Structure 1
């Protein structure tokens, strides 16, 4: 109760911060046009450099923005997708400006904010970071937002468990080593699980940023491999007009039907947004397996936010609700026909190799199987940023709750096997001192408090626990002439506590149940009490040197820190959704990484290019190893479920990423893109030295991947269809022969090439309404393939099959259509 009172008090104080921030200001207005067509640059972003203040131009390219007092030399940064940014100095004697944007040199001038103290142009930032614009997100049709980002960021991949479950991996590392942010709030939703996806509304993501490499300096533990930062839509208009956006899509392969709606308004002081979406899909299909049983889902989202903007900054209060019924495939089949089967019995009565075949009606239905996950995720958070003198401060306070039920009992469908509730309080404070002598100095503190409870379940892979993270950091940036140098240091502490946790057999149904103290009759101690603390220091230093206006060289060295997660130190039970029994190790110590990055980036009139090299050593690397008997056969503590135990050693990863974008000035609207990513990961533990696939290589390492696309935008004289776009791309993944064969954890994965095509058009429905229609075909030739990053590849109960195929294949040909209508 005291924690709830304190949280409400902090929430109240956080919301009323703007009362202290009033001062006089001036209003700057202007217009923005495109240089080639002289047309208005509608919805162009205009921001006040080195602050959080910004606006967006209206349908006619007009804008207004308030400049707070106390800024001696204000600069406006004008950003528009596909055009060179423009930096405009605001002079004392002028309040109205005309701005013309030029379509060139855009890549190095994009502005990012993740992992930084202030908004910074990419070319000045030594950290490897990628920006994914709203235009790219809208024109990339995939099953979920993580897959959308993976198609556009070299070095970012996803480990999949069906179409709607994708876990981000950056440069070969994932799970609790990649931190996901939603509007600056770290996502906490039992992300340790193999089949646990990201709980966000893909239709409400305006843009994204991806940090590749240790980001522990700003975010602490769990950002050792990098950060995926998702930004929901926020209105920047200040005219008080209510605007809306409707999105609808259909995908043929799994019959996905998705609809989303958003309404928003922004005035001189207040702004608000309301959004909701509903996505429903049945089982996906491919040429080998037909429809893959229990891969459908039913996902709902709601979100609301209200913000107040004063002359010195802003306060935003946001709420989100996520609800998903998600199928849990297990891959059981009939041995001869290879048709999927379903579980109808429990324990020793369940003969996995002789289950009944799933009917065609069930395979083609939108109905979710009784054996499924039910995930609910709620967020409430307040963000504030205000000028204090010539500096500024930001304050974050948030609460989120994740409720996860996994139903795995066919004889009692309403009884969840796993039922956990995780509450998280996020907090953060940062102060950016006034700039002096070309120096920008920031310091802050952030962290979280967690409370995890097992509810009415039968399986208990992790105990009840409380966790407190506290981290403080300092960051400094120096810029002069062609040089930018930035770096910082951070210290983190994590305390984890849990009490004795007893389990016994329920005499009524024979399932497990928690035995509550003091009555522990006929029970066993599944989790002994836990009292552990972890701490560590993170460091980062890097530099960017502008070789010319068009070419920059970046070097960065970082030390990352990650405390062991609860499953890694304390798990001892079945995760029914993953079909894995996890066993932790309480003797683990934190992981520390040491990564070096070097890259060269160029932005020229007709093309942009970049080459990045990296090397990463991870000390005390934590990994899963399958438990086997003396003959090397997997041990099944529970029937049909493999057993894995966490181990600790060391790892080394190195690789490269390249990107090339060609925009010939002589061929207006033509763009050729090619991205390449390659990484090698090795377990450097002494016992695996020179063992190759028998232990030397790390699991889930992506192969060489090259994505090449050709797109063309054509402006037409038509008033109804002013612009069309077409795109074709080739997605190549090489054979992965560096795999972890030890205990049959992985097998060799043949390479494959997928062809995709898209066609879109703008539709001028009225003078102020420009709709978009996008058609896309993924896997045009319906090629049957398996990715080594798909967990479904290893969902197999037989050693051989009549058709020569083992495991589950990925999605086949998929026709898609998406319609976006603003109003």
Structure 2
């Protein structure tokens, strides 16, 4: 395999020397030249600024098709798809005064890297900065602000994302362009990511197995790392946030520098919180946590080649809440607790040819998970190591046809080093082949693709027959064919229709195949089923959206049929006073959607009103409700934005009301939850005072200190309410 990649590199490099320049002039609608416009080419990690005459220029660029973004604080951003196929390309741009609320973002998670207006799939793109301004203490909590996304929580420290009612191994997470593997099968295992050094998140709501293989049956969360500094520049920043409820602190410091070809950045983050306080004044014992995060990256690019290496170290020390006991404001987690050390390394490479390009990416993830009962010696220790590879060749464009062929794979080993064993030592291997094409004409786009995947799972025998912790060796193979078909068109000038039909699959995870013992997080004896089959689904998704300068609306509807849905159900048996649960399968269906509006009337463009509603229903073929289906949610926000006011720039004030309806459609071993509403507040802006510049924001969540229990809280079975009023104060300095 190594010699194969070397041969590819040498062979293709021979044809990779074609180069071009890109230049142009940027003006406003009155033909005035605009100075200081930032022009960036994300694929090449290149960026420049327009001069006082509105001119810009890039030299020594490779041939190919690229997205170029033109942005300025006082104008609407423009995103252009430009073909570089001659020695010099001229591209002039006219910018309009800023009225829009949304920028037409480049979507990275859908392989063709189109801007959203060209994409056949509706992909939610949210800046992490925007989620942070909501006052969320963790990344998982912030994600729940996105329509169609929820959060299964255990206090404030543990959160697992839910997309349209599907969670766990049914939602695939990508970080730094690498598939994240961190024992995500466990209910008490969190997301395992820190928001420090993350630029944005893209959410695919629906099966994405064509693009990513197994475990993308329910959707994908694709976290984009922060960008490098502009070419020939240096920057550094420091941010600090304080949280009143948990007496918590979140600190981040970063610096980055770039030359014309080389890029470098490093960022450190530290997050620490006490037990959260309920509206009644008591604290939920052992919901405290401490997190240290380090991210670094180095990149190089020239006219024919681009490479980026990134590394993330995350060390998380968190408590496992069991009851409301002694009220303290200690930060150090008590027993039982978890210690999770996670390493993510990624290497992304692109070779540019005259009419095509080759991406070959590699990733390595090491997840060391420790659980402590009453001493510093872990009773449970699982070491999971994963190597990923992803190779895609973008064939030369033929007319309006673009085609990608690729191969993706994963080699994974799981080892147990502690006294207690939840899942056996195992080896997992994945390999998938895909082909997908995109055809665009006028304002219409069709995209289709096929994929084949094969997964093998091999475990070792452990323990004695008939005893807890006995695991019989298995050697299982799973395979699946999947396809997708999508269509996008403009019904009217500003009315867009997207329709998608796609299949997806998920191979059973190790816990579902092999479990044999008490799962302490759920207080039940779980028995796996080695005869489980693939979950296989097909989903229809329709999106309609309209947008002009002052009014936007969207409606998303979906219907998701899943064959062999895996679930866990109680039996009538007990082992050592613990009720026995077995893993089973049944055909299931989920349906629902999201709808929303955004109104900012002329001439009061500073006033914004947004409203959204989301709903999911999940049923098994026998009529039983699926577990962990989020309650229907209504979200209303009024936001006032002021560009400039003396020493205060780009300020905003927002008032938000989140309303969760009753959830009575619950599975046989779930409890229902009542409706409730949460009032939230936000305030922020940029301050320029006495030659000091910094950004600040204040947010207040659950301002009325409402006592409530979220349907997706794992503490609800003990009647423990969620967090009470929480005020966050944050500042950011560009040094």
Fold equivalence (TM over 0.5): yes
- 1:678 has 2:670 as partner: no
CA offset digits 1:333-355 (Å, max 9, x no partner)? xxxxxxx24xxxxxxxxxxxxxx
Match of 1:454 among 405, 411, 416: 416
Q: In the alignment, which residue of structure 2 is the partner of 1:346?
A: none
Q: In the alignment, which residue of structure 2 is the partner of 1:201?
A: 194
- 1:666 has 2:666 as partner: no
CA offset digits 1:316-361 (Å, max 9, x no partner)? 1111111010100112xxxxxxxx24xxxxxxxxxxxxxxxx2x3x
Q: Please list, as runs of the form range in 1=range in 2, the aligned pairs for 1:26-65 lying within 5 A after superposition.
A: 26-28=20-22, 44=38, 46-47=40-41, 54-55=46-47, 57=49, 65=58
CA offset digits 1:162-215 (Å, max 9, x no partner)? 112111111101110000000210110000011111222212111110000000
Q: In the alignment, which residue of structure 2 is the partner of 1:818?
A: 730
Give 1:123 shift: 2.6
Match of 2:364 among 399, 410, 416: 399
Q: In the alignment, which residue of structure 1 is the partner of 2:450?
A: 489
Match of 2:651 among 724, 727, 731: 724
Give 1:27 shift: 4.5
CA offset digits 1:597-618 (Å, max 9, x no partner)? 1111111121111101110000
Give 1:365 shift: 1.2
**Residues 85 and 110 in structure 1, CA contact (< 8 A), matched pair in contact too:** no
Distance 1:652 1:724 in 2: 45
Give 1:294 shift: 0.5
Give 1:499 shift: 1.6
Q: In the alignment, which residue of structure 2 is the partner of 1:210?
A: 203
Judging changes above 3 Å, is the alpha-carbon distance between structure 1 residues 75 and 419 closer, same or farther for their aligned structure 2 residues?
Answer: closer
**Number of matched pairs:** 731
**Residues 547 and 553 in structure 1, CA contact (< 8 A), matched pair in contact too:** yes
Match of 1:650 among 570, 583, 587: 587
Give 1:765 shift: 6.0
Judging changes above 3 Å, is the alpha-carbon distance between structure 1 residues 574 and 27 closer, same or farther for their aligned structure 2 residues?
Answer: farther
Judging changes above 3 Å, is the alpha-carbon distance between structure 1 residues 625 and 288 closer, same or farther for their aligned structure 2 residues?
Answer: farther
Distance 2:245 2:521 in 1: 24
SS at match of 1:176: helix
Q: In the alignment, which residue of structure 1 is the partner of 2:403?
A: 441
Give 1:774 shift: 0.3
Match of 2:509 among 542, 558, 565: 565
Distance 2:28 2:313 in 1: 39
Match of 2:335 among 367, 370, 391: 370
Q: In the alignment, which residue of structure 1 is the partner of 2:660?
A: 733
Match of 2:677 among 745, 753, 776: 753
Distance 2:162 2:459 in 1: 30
Match of 1:168 among 161, 166, 171: 161
Judging changes above 3 Å, is the alpha-carbon distance between structure 1 residues 730 and 648 closer, same or farther for their aligned structure 2 residues?
Answer: same
Judging changes above 3 Å, is the alpha-carbon distance between structure 1 residues 33 and 737 closer, same or farther for their aligned structure 2 residues?
Answer: farther
**Residues 622 and 646 in structure 1, CA contact (< 8 A), matched pair in contact too:** yes
Q: In the alignment, which residue of structure 1 is the partner of 2:701?
A: 778
SS at match of 1:627: strand
Match of 2:131 among 115, 121, 137: 137
Give 1:134 shift: 4.6
Match of 2:637 among 695, 709, 717: 709
**Residues 405 and 419 in structure 1, CA contact (< 8 A), matched pair in contact too:** yes
Judging changes above 3 Å, is the alpha-carbon distance between structure 1 residues 275 and 75 closer, same or farther for their aligned structure 2 residues?
Answer: closer
Distance 1:181 1:32 in 2: 36
Give 1:523 shift: 8.2
Distance 2:469 2:650 in 1: 67
Give 1:668 shift: 2.6
CA offset digits 1:459-502 (Å, max 9, x no partner)? 21100000000001000111111221001011000001112112
Distance 2:268 2:121 in 1: 35
Normalised by the size of structure 2, how large is the TM-score?
0.93
Give 1:417 shift: 2.5
**Residues 445 and 487 in structure 2, CA contact (< 8 A), matched pair in contact too:** yes
Match of 1:528 among 458, 472, 479: 472
Distance 1:59 1:160 in 2: 50
Give 1:273 shift: 0.8
Give 1:820 shift: 1.3
**Residues 592 and 619 in structure 1, CA contact (< 8 A), matched pair in contact too:** yes
Distance 2:678 2:200 in 1: 26
Q: In the alignment, which residue of structure 2 is the partner of 1:304?
A: 296
Distance 2:534 2:274 in 1: 42
Match of 1:250 among 218, 242, 252: 242
Distance 1:730 1:698 in 2: 28
**Residues 455 and 477 in structure 2, CA contact (< 8 A), matched pair in contact too:** yes
Give 1:62 shift: 8.6
Distance 1:62 1:327 in 2: 56
Judging changes above 3 Å, is the alpha-carbon distance between structure 1 residues 167 and 638 closer, same or farther for their aligned structure 2 residues?
Answer: farther
Normalised by the size of structure 1, how large is the TM-score?
0.83
Give 1:19 shift: 7.1
**Which is richer in strand?**
2
Q: Which runs of 5+ in 1 are unaligned?
A: 1-5, 332-339, 342-357, 505-521, 630-634, 690-695, 797-806
**Residues 26 and 66 in structure 1, CA contact (< 8 A), matched pair in contact too:** yes
CA offset digits 1:710-762 (Å, max 9, x no partner)? 111113341x322321111000110111111x2xx211200110000011120
Match of 1:808 among 715, 720, 725: 720
SS at match of 1:148: helix
Distance 2:734 2:544 in 1: 39
**Residues 31 and 62 in structure 1, CA contact (< 8 A), matched pair in contact too:** yes
Give 1:124 shift: 2.5
Distance 2:51 2:423 in 1: 53
Q: In the alignment, which residue of structure 1 is the partner of 2:536?
A: 592
SS at match of 1:250: strand
Q: In the alignment, which residue of structure 2 is the partner of 1:230?
A: 223
Judging changes above 3 Å, is the alpha-carbon distance between structure 1 residues 32 and 405 closer, same or farther for their aligned structure 2 residues?
Answer: farther
Judging changes above 3 Å, is the alpha-carbon distance between structure 1 residues 74 and 393 closer, same or farther for their aligned structure 2 residues?
Answer: closer
Distance 2:297 2:4 in 1: 18
**Residues 500 and 525 in structure 1, CA contact (< 8 A), matched pair in contact too:** no
Q: In the alignment, which residue of structure 2 is the partner of 1:336?
A: none
Give 1:386 shift: 2.1
Give 1:682 shift: 0.4
Distance 2:139 2:278 in 1: 22
**Residues 13 and 351 in structure 2, CA contact (< 8 A), matched pair in contact too:** no
Give 1:709 shift: 0.7
Distance 2:244 2:6 in 1: 48
Distance 2:201 2:630 in 1: 22
Q: In the alignment, which residue of structure 2 is the partner of 1:692?
A: none
CA offset digits 1:115-161 (Å, max 9, x no partner)? x222112232222311102552342220211221221x211111111
- 1:537 has 2:481 as partner: yes
- 1:276 has 2:268 as partner: yes
Distance 2:4 2:344 in 1: 16
With 99-108 and 662-671 compared, the bigger mean Cα shift is at 99-108
**Residues 203 and 247 in structure 1, CA contact (< 8 A), matched pair in contact too:** no
Judging changes above 3 Å, is the alpha-carbon distance between structure 1 residues 326 and 77 closer, same or farther for their aligned structure 2 residues?
Answer: same
Distance 1:580 1:201 in 2: 31
Distance 2:523 2:599 in 1: 46
SS at match of 1:447: strand
Judging changes above 3 Å, is the alpha-carbon distance between structure 1 residues 263 and 330 closer, same or farther for their aligned structure 2 residues?
Answer: same
Give 1:14 shift: 10
Q: Which runs of 5+ in 2 are unaligned?
A: none
- 1:68 has 2:61 as partner: yes
